[in-house]
């Protein structure tokens, strides 16, 4: 009697199934096809931007797979975890960074009043004076699909910024985003001019009135949400390419410098003399301008940054929920006890899966204490991290055996449970490890074992 299939796969995409767009990894397409034919559960968990529907269409095309193999819900996108945060701003104007496919993404997570950076630049061309020509905005960046475009007059105040995908042109994102973060969410010229006057008046107010999290405060700094915490990703080029965390670093640094300039304009010579030699306690400060001089501006000049995407557990929980909803018969007849995360990024794929494993072990200990250890699989499966030597780890793929000291370069939380050459080796190992030897041989024959 064949061993039960009580396990599932969670695949990263870039670096595992493909090397950038249009360049699939050898054996990737046949692997997914084989799992589908043999009813072995799988989903895809990616930090790539864009809507899940768009990513599903893209993956089907690149791997030549049918819509029954990569169906709706199979891809868990990085922006999905932002849904709960988006509910706080669903009726507020929100600035969004991303391409045309991110319009659908914004609407799907509840941002009904999303405005894209390109739309801001078109309505207020002076915001980016060097880029006022229409040809700057390529077809991928057009935003006419927004259902209810907002007229950006002096009353519009963006309450937050959501970065859902990498912008094709960084300047068209960095300039509007850092400007809006440092002007309390306003972008219309007359509104910003009025804000500057309000700030002058506020400088003499008690320092205790300063609250950069309050939209009513002239120094309000909108929070900014990033759907991806990766610094680089694996593409066709020999070395990794920059992605969203590198953009975050730019925005954060520039915003802080712009806020420093803004704050220091309120420090007069008289103020400097008054506070010379004093401490930096906000309670003992007579005015906001005095407190600015006493304090380290870095402590309140930076925006509130919230990141999702791998390795954050919200995304892995989302993948687990998708597995159970896409394969209800499989998970009901044979409890899902093991989940294998196959990725090429130690800091995202591997760390996230390891964190899920630790959380599961903690829950298992608690259930054992309560005498419910037999319920373990039905509640929380065991997660295993599998690092492939394609993509981000391709520099370790040359030796004939897995002898390269990958672990020497990794933090403890990024060390994988298993290391394999590529996605096909991962699947072979899991099938054999769970006693499905006939299925493993069938898979080797199907892919044309190397």
Q: For residue 294, is it within any domain?
A: no
Residue 38: both structure tokens together: 């043999």
Question: What does the pLDDT average to over 42-53?
Answer: 88
Please state the pTM of the whole predicted model. Answer: 0.80
Residue predicted with more confidence, 303 or 168: 168
Contact 441, 409 (CB under 8 A): no
Give the length of the chain: 450
Instruction: For residues 360 and 384, give the distance between their C-alpha atoms in angstroms, rounded to a whole number.
Output: 11
Task: Spell out where 263-321 has E strands.
Answer: 305-307
Identify the CATH number of the domain in which residue 358 sits: 3.40.50.1000
In angstroms, the CA 430 to CA 8 distance is 10
Which of 307, 338, 372 is the last residue before a domain boundary? 307
Residue range(s) defining the domain that contains residue 321: 7-78+312-447
In a domain, 276, yes or no: no
Q: 45, 310 in Cβ contact below 8 A?
A: yes
Domains held by the chain: number: 2
Bridge partners (DSSP) listed for residue 338? 7, 382
Mean pLDDT of 213-228: 87
218 pLDDT above the threshold of 80: yes
Q: Is there a domain that residue 14 lies in?
A: yes
Question: What is the pairing mode between strands 418-420 and 382-388?
Answer: parallel
Task: Answer whether residue 2 is part of any domain.
Answer: no
Residues 410 and 351 both lie in one domain: yes
**H/E element, 228:** none
Residues 247 and 103 both lie in one domain: yes
Judgement on whether residues 108 and 164 belong to the same structural domain of the protein: yes
- Asked if residue 43 has pLDDT above 60, the reply is yes
pLDDT of 237 higher than 90: no
Which of the residue ranges 3-7, 53-57, 137-141, 291-295 would you say has the lowest mean pLDDT?
137-141
Has residue 1 got a pLDDT over 70?
no
Percentage, residues of the chain above pLDDT 90: 41
Q: 108 and 180 share a domain?
A: yes
Two structure tokens written together for 325:
């909803």
37 and 113 together in one domain: no
pLDDT classification of 448: cutoffs 50, 70, 90: confident
Q: Please indicate, yes or no, if residue 271 is contained in any of the structural domains.
A: no
Per the CB < 8 A criterion, the answer to whether 217 and 210 are in contact is yes
Same domain, 242 and 129: yes
Q: What are the angstrom distances between the C-alpha of 205 and each of 186, 258, 266, 282, 297?
A: 22, 22, 12, 12, 18
Which pLDDT score, from 0 to 100, does residue 351 have?
A: 95
pLDDT: is 258 or 351 the higher one? 351
pLDDT over threshold 70, residue 140: no
Whether residues 74 and 107 fall in one domain: no
Residue 418 is encoded by which pair of tokens?
């298993």
Verify that 336 and 213 share a domain, yes or no: no
The pLDDT, as a whole number, for residue 141 is: 44
Residues 346 and 389 in one domain: yes
Q: What is the DSSP string of 369-409?
A: HTT-GGGHHHH-PEEEEEEESSGGGGGG--SSSS-S-GGGG
Same domain, residue pair 226 and 156: yes
What confidence score (pLDDT) does residue 211 get?
Answer: 75
In angstroms, the Cα distances linking 373 to 174, 355, 361 are 51, 20, 11
State whether residue 146 is helix, strand or coil: coil
Q: Is residue 1 part of a domain?
A: no
Tokens of 132: 């006022």
Question: pLDDT per residue over 18-30, tens digit each?
Answer: 987 778 999 999 9
Look at residue 146 in the predicted model and tell me its pLDDT: 44
Q: Are residues 57 and 144 in the same domain?
A: no
What would the mean pLDDT of 401-427 be, rounded to a whole number? Answer: 79
């Amino acid at each position: 009697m064949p061993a039960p299939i009580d396990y599932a796969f969670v695949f990263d995409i870039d670096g595992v199934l493909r090397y950038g767009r249009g360049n699939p990894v050898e054996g990737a397409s046949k692997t997914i096809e084989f799992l589908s034919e043999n009813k072995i559960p799988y989903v895809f968990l990616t930090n790539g931007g864009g809507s899940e529907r768009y990513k599903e269409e893209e993956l089907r095309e690149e791997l030549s797979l049918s819509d029954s193999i990569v169906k709706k819900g199979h891809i868990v996108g990085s922006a999905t975890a932002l849904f709960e945060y988006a509910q706080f701003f669903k009726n507020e104007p929100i600035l969004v960074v991303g391409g045309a496919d991110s319009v659908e993404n914004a609407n799907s997570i509840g941002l009904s009043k999303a405005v894209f950076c390109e739309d801001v630049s078109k309505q207020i061309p002076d915001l980016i004076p060097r880029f006022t020509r229409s040809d700057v905005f390529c077809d991928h960046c057009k935003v006419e699909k927004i259902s209810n475009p907002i007229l950006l007059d002096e009353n519009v105040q963006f309450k937050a910024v959501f970065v859902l995908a990498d912008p094709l042109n960084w300047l068209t994102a960095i300039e509007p985003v850092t400007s809006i973060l440092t002007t309390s969410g306003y972008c219309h010229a007359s509104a910003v001019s009025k804000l500057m006057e309000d700030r002058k008046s506020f400088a003499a107010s008690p320092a205790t009135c300063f609250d950069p999290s309050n939209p009513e405060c002239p120094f309000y700094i909108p929070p900014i949400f990033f759907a991806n915490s990766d610094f680089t990703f694996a593409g066709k080029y020999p070395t990794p390419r920059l992605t969203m965390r590198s953009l975050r670093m730019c925005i954060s640094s520039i915003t802080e410098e712009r806020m420093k300039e803004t704050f220091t304009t309120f420090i007069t010579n008289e103020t400097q003399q008054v506070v010379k030699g004093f401490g930096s306690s906000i309670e003992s400060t007579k005015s906001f301008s005095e407190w600015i001089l006493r304090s380290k501006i870095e402590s309140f000049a930076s925006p509130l940054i919230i990141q999702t995407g791998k390795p954050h557990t919200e995304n892995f929980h989302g993948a687990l929920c998708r597995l159970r909803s896409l394969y209800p018969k499989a998970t009901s007849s044979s409890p899902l006890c093991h989940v294998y995360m196959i990725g090429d990024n130690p800091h995202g794929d591997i760390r996230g899966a390891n964190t899920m494993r630790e959380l599961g072990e903690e829950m298992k200990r608690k259930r054992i204490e309560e005498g419910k250890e037999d319920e373990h699989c039905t509640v929380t499966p065991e997660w295993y991290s599998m690092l492939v030597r394609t993509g981000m780890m391709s520099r370790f793929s040359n030796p004939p055996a897995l002898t390269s000291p990958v672990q020497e370069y990794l933090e403890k939380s990024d060390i994988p449970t298993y290391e394999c050459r590529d996605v096909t080796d991962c699947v072979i190992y899991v099938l054999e490890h769970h006693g499905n030897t006939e299925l493993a041989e069938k898979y080797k024959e199907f892919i044309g074992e190397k």
